[in-house]
Structure 1
Amino acid sequence: MGTIQIRDVPDGTERVLKARAEREGKSLTAYVRDLLNEEAASPTLDEVMIRIAGDEPVPYDPDFVRETMREGRR
């Protein structure tokens, strides 16, 4: 596992994060690690757009769309 050291965190930010960690029964390290893991697991908008751009185009058939909508309303 890697190590990340963060300097120059404002005192207010540190206090808020410590309080949130305490409410969740975690150490500050565990709390911030969980935040970082959540952030890394969520793709950015740019990553999503790149993935979409690489997808095959979906053919558009108006009749198919109308029929699908009719079937969904039954």
Structure 2
Amino acid sequence: MVSVQIKDVPADTHAVLRKRAAAAHQSLQEYLRARLILDAQTPTVDEVLERAGTRAGGRVPFAAAVDALREDRDRR
């Protein structure tokens, strides 16, 4: 595994992150590691659009698209 070091984090940001880590019963390192992993696993809008642009064919009814979008938002 590789390591990441972040310098010059504002004190108020550090305090908020430490508080959130404590609330999650995690060390700051565990908390930030989990957040980074989740962020890397969640595609950006540009990545989704790029992936969608390479696909051909198929049609999705509007109601099904709305349901899928709601399910995705509810998971976050």
Is the structural similarity TM-score above 0.5?
yes
2:48 corresponds in structure 1 to 48
TM-score relative to the length of structure 2:
0.74
Q: d(CA) in 1 for partners of 2:39 and 2:23? A: 20
One-letter amino acid of the counterpart of residue 52, structure 2: I
One-letter amino acid of the counterpart of residue 31, structure 1: Y
CA displacement at 1:53 relative to structure 2: 0.4
Q: d(CA) in 2 for partners of 1:21 and 1:58? A: 44
Structure 2 unaligned runs (5+)? 62-76
Identity level (%): 38
Q: Which has the higher contact order (CA 8 A, sep 6+)?
A: 1
Q: d(CA) in 1 for partners of 2:52 and 2:3? A: 33
Alignment of 1:8-47 (within 5 A): 8-47=8-47
Structure 1 unaligned runs (5+)? 60-64, 66-74
One-letter amino acid of the counterpart of residue 3, structure 1: S
Q: d(CA) in 2 for partners of 1:26 and 1:58? A: 44
CA displacement at 1:57 relative to structure 2: 2.7
Matched length: 61
Q: d(CA) in 2 for partners of 1:16 and 1:6? A: 16
The CA RMSD over aligned residues, in Å, is 1.7
| Bigger CA radius of gyration | 1
